[in-house]
Amino acid sequence: MEATYLPNPNDSNATILLMGLRRGGKSSICKVVFHDMQPLDTLYLESTSKPTSEQFSSLIDLSLMEIPGQLNYFEPEYDSARIFQSVGALVYVIDSQDEYLNALTNLSMIIEFAYKVNPKIHIEVLIHKIDGLTEDYRIDAQRDIMQRTGDELLDLGLEGVQVSFYLTSIFDQSIYEAFSKIVQKLIPELPSLENMLDNLVQHLSIDKVFLFDVNSKLYVATDSSPVDIQTYEVCAEFIDITIDLDELYVDENGEQTNKEIKSISRLSNHSLLYLRQMIRGLALVALIRNDDENLNDMDSMLTVVNYNVNLFKQALMQMWQNSKFVKKTNDVNESLSVDRLH
Amino acid sequence: MSSRKKLLLMGRSGSGKSSMRSIIFLNYSAFDTRRLGATIDVEHSHLRFLGNMTLNLWDCGGQDVFMDNYFSSQKDHIFKMVQVLIHVFDVESKSIKKDMEIFVKSLTNLQKFSPDAKIFILLHKMDLVQIDKRDELFSMMMEKLQNISNPFQFKLVGFPTSIWDESLYKAWSQIVCSLIPNMNLFNNNLIKFNQILDAEEIILFEKTTFLVISSTSSIKQQKQPDLQDEETLDPKRFEKISNIIKTYKQSISKLRTNFHNLVIRGSNGTHFYIDILTDNLFIMIVLKDKQLTDSTYVSSHEELVVLENIKAARKWFEKIENGK
Ligand SMILES: Nc1nc2c(ncn2[C@@H]2O[C@H](COP(=O)(O)OP(=O)(O)OP(=O)(O)O)[C@@H](O)[C@H]2O)c(=O)[nH]1
Ligand SMILES: Nc1nc2c(ncn2[C@@H]2O[C@H](COP(=O)(O)OP(=O)(O)O)[C@@H](O)[C@H]2O)c(=O)[nH]1
Ligand SMILES: [Mg+2]
């Protein structure tokens, strides 16, 4: 691999390649997840005809590349081999409301090619637009698609290839859930991050904690307890509530101090929602249980939480500085982002 | 205080009456209103407001069959003892003549049965009008309606509204405040409270609807009103806050719970406290960092002090609510 590696200006980015037949929902997914577009507004999206690429900066820098369905990437003018080599994840979108047999043939062809040039590539299949399907039909479609894909790969002699499947729709949280998991696989520090979060959960009476990318509401890490979709939604919406209120009183002509945002809400069932801004557009959001009604205990508990979250943040900063994704060329950005914390 | 207040919600079918009622009083989202069917005859709702006030809201279905009855056999039943008439016009209406006809009939009956009633006009579904045309359309319509009302000696108060933005909260806050007899007591006490706190802003919200009841700006600004011109804060912020907090309430209802308070330390050294003040009121206090140093100890200490102050103020405001 190393020998054929071509210098690429974006090589410090983790690249996600979005593929699939046309009208499958690729552009819609990009717009909804990364540009805050309302799901219904995607009806007016024009069909994409050229490959597009966008950069996002989160804990890691992400490139998202969309390749339109009607394009034949195996034509010589596209250096497909080079593209696939630098890609971290291939996300293939299948329209589950449509006849999908063609898509499956297309998918195995792409997997065969991608795997050959880059055996480390993560292959992620979105069984998309499931909002139109009944619960039973969803399960059937998933089983059928997994079965057929498996058979095709077997025929191609690729039985070792790992393929992950997700049921998704832009009309609910499922697309965020799926993309969160896809992005997480590209973060080399994920195991240590999860460890640190598990530590927090163990020492404080935390029900669930997420490390969110504020912009997209994807979570780049969470503790190891299962994700309950309702808790995820409440935590993600808590970010919006906090930011929306904060922005109302930011005087645009005044100086911007950019202090760390912190938000705590006490709920009637004695739980707490807790938010702290981290580095690089991230925020930690936790749902903290508190069975004790005593206010003073609550305050001493908060002191402990604050202390531990401070430690977490410091560890995060350190981790990021040592991260292999930070190249010398990024030094300028790095100091900028760190400045913002003070 | 005898405090049953009768509010009539009038307007042609489809103008949006039930939609706004559901959003303000029943926690619907704007999106949910698409499910509403036409109202059959009159739908009554009794809403407790600020403790001992009851709002009797008469949502009068606007289809012609029902309207005809309101103005004939049912007219004394409908128009007697009315405190407030809220007349809703769909700005995109295709039959303005008919709209005006209904309006004149309402005025005629109101003058006869409740001549002291206040009238609010909501020019509704403004979201459907191009942004730069809205002001002009609004003043034109209001002028026309006021001219129609002059012979009846009614003075109209009008608002442009839409369920898709915060304008609805502004209109309803003012409608409801017009019914609160001791409004100036709330205002005065809020100012007193701010002399203790020295906050940038304090706002009182009714607890179930999150409508704004009263507010006060910083003491400094009150002494030098010209400072206000330099202020670049969003003039629609109160309504936006109502909207945001309602969204928050709806969000945490997924955890089958409600919220007690919310404390935010913002990006620009602004601190927000939203807390329960009385059984019927929420308070929001906006404070600015006084000193530039930012030690966590100091700020968490300050948080406690503010929350304690809110507790102490509770007694005052409970008294006002009970009309003492
Ligand atoms: N675009 C837009 N649509 C609105 C607005 N308010 C209400 N609507 C829509 O208008 C339709 C009719 O609203 P209703 O509230 O049922 O009307 P109504 O006045 O109660 O009608 P009747 O009960 O028959 O008198 C609903 O589909 C609402 O979603 C608004 O501000 N903007
Ligand atoms: N029902 C439903 N429709 C979707 C979903 N995602 C995308 N669509 C619709 O699918 C159509 C094609 O989407 P587009 O993003 O242009 O597809 P692309 O060609 O793969 O980029 C649009 O009309 C979208 O509104 C989904 O989750 N559910
Ligand atoms: Mg109705």
Domain with B63 in it = 3-177
Q: Is the model more confident about A331 or about B18?
A: B18
My answer on whether B8 and B100 are in the same domain is yes
Give the distance (Å) from ligand 3 centre to CA of residue B60: 7
Question: What's the confidence (pLDDT) of residue A293?
Answer: 59
My answer on whether A234 and A153 are in the same domain is no
My answer on whether A202 and A71 are in the same domain is no
B156's enclosing H/E stretch is: strand B156-160
Q: Is B56 on the interface with A (CB under 8 A)?
A: no
CATH code: domain of residue B280: 3.30.450.190
Q: Is the model more confident about B43 or about A280?
A: B43
My answer on whether B69 and B113 are in the same domain is yes
Could you read off the pLDDT of A193-246 as tens digits, one per residue? 888 899 888 888 888 999 998 888 889 889 988 888 889 999 999 999 999 998
Percent over 90 (pLDDT), chain A: 16
Beta bridge partners of A19: A92
Asked if the model's pLDDT at residue A173 lies above 60, the reply is yes
Domain with A164 in it = 14-184
Asked if the model's pLDDT at residue A3 lies above 50, the reply is no
Asked if the model's pLDDT at residue A69 lies above 70, the reply is no
Question: What's the confidence (pLDDT) of residue A332?
Answer: 37
Asked if the model's pLDDT at residue A252 lies above 70, the reply is no
What are A242's two structure tokens?
Answer: 């906090």
My answer on whether A222 and A257 are in the same domain is yes
- The answer to the question of residue A341 being in a domain is no
- Confidence band, pLDDT 50/70/90 cuts, at residue A98: confident
Considering only CB atoms, A234 lies closest to which of B251, B264, B266, namely B251
3-state secondary structure of B71: coil
Mean pLDDT of chain A, nearest integer: 79
Nearest CA to ligand 2 atom 13: A25
CATH code: domain of residue B43: 3.40.50.300
Nearest atom in ligand 1 to B60's CA: 25
Average pLDDT over residues A18-37: 86
Distance CA A120, CA A45 (A): 33
Distances (CA, A) of B248 to A238, A245, B252: 7, 11, 6
Distance CA A1, CA A119 (A): 10
My answer on whether A201 and A101 are in the same domain is no
Specify the pairing of strand A14-19 against strand A87-95: parallel
Question: What's the confidence (pLDDT) of residue B37?
Answer: 87
Asked if the model's pLDDT at residue A340 lies above 50, the reply is no
- The answer to the question of residue A123 being in a domain is yes
Regions in chain B scoring below 50 on pLDDT: 1, 229, 295-297
Asked if the model's pLDDT at residue A299 lies above 50, the reply is yes
Percent over 70 (pLDDT), chain B: 90
Among A78-92, A267-281, B277-291, name the most confident range. Answer: A267-281
Please tell me the total number of residues recorded for chain B in this structure. Answer: 324
- The answer to the question of residue A32 being in a domain is yes
Distance CA A262, CA A275 (A): 6
The total number of structural domains in chain A stands at 2
Q: Is B294 on the interface with A (CB under 8 A)?
A: yes
- Confidence band, pLDDT 50/70/90 cuts, at residue A291: low
Q: Which candidate, A152, A1, A154, A182, places its Cα nearest to that of A81?
A: A1
- Determine whether the interchain pair B244/A241 forms a contact, defined as Cβ–Cβ distance below 8 Å: yes
CATH code: domain of residue A269: 3.30.450.190
The total number of structural domains in chain B stands at 2
A119 by Cβ neighbours in 10 Å (0-12 / 13-18 / 19+) ranks as exposed
My answer on whether A51 and A178 are in the same domain is yes
My answer on whether B91 and B129 are in the same domain is yes
Asked if the model's pLDDT at residue A61 lies above 80, the reply is no
My answer on whether B148 and B96 are in the same domain is yes
Q: Which candidate, A42, A50, A224, places its Cα nearest to that of A128?
A: A42
Q: Which candidate, B247, B306, B245, places its Cα nearest to that of B277?
A: B306
CA of A253: which chain B residue's CA is closest?
B232
Asked if the model's pLDDT at residue A44 lies above 50, the reply is yes
- The 3-class SS string of chain A reads CHHHCCCCCCCCCEEEEEECCCCCCHHHHHHHHHHCCCHHHHHHCCCCCCCEEEEEECCCEEEEEECCCCCCCCCCCCCHHHHHHCEEEEEEEEECCCCCHHHHHHHHHHHHHHHHHCCCCEEEEEEECHHHCCHHHHHHHHHHHHHHHHHHHHHCCCCCCCEEEEECCCCCCHHHHHHHHHHHCCCCCHHHHHHHHHHHHHHCCEEEEEEEECCCCCEEEECCCCCCHHHHHHHHHHHHHHHHHHHHCCCCCCCCCCCCCEEEEEECCCCEEEEEECCCCEEEEEEECCCCCCHHHHHHHHHHHHHHHHHHHHHHHHHHHHCCCCCHHHHHHHHHHHHCCC
Query: Mind telling me how many Å the CA of B37 is from chain A's nearest CA?
Result: 23
- Determine whether the interchain pair A246/B264 forms a contact, defined as Cβ–Cβ distance below 8 Å: yes
Distances (CA, A) of A59 to A21, A105, A181, B240: 31, 35, 14, 31
Query: Mind telling me how many Å the CA of B269 is from chain A's nearest CA?
Result: 7
Question: What's the confidence (pLDDT) of residue B11?
Answer: 93
Distance CA A55, CA A180 (A): 16
- Determine whether the interchain pair A261/B255 forms a contact, defined as Cβ–Cβ distance below 8 Å: no
Question: What's the confidence (pLDDT) of residue A85?
Answer: 77
Q: Which candidate, A109, A267, A261, A256, places its Cα nearest to that of B260?
A: A267
Distance CA B108, CA A126 (A): 63
A52 by Cβ neighbours in 10 Å (0-12 / 13-18 / 19+) ranks as middle
Question: What's the confidence (pLDDT) of residue B182?
Answer: 79
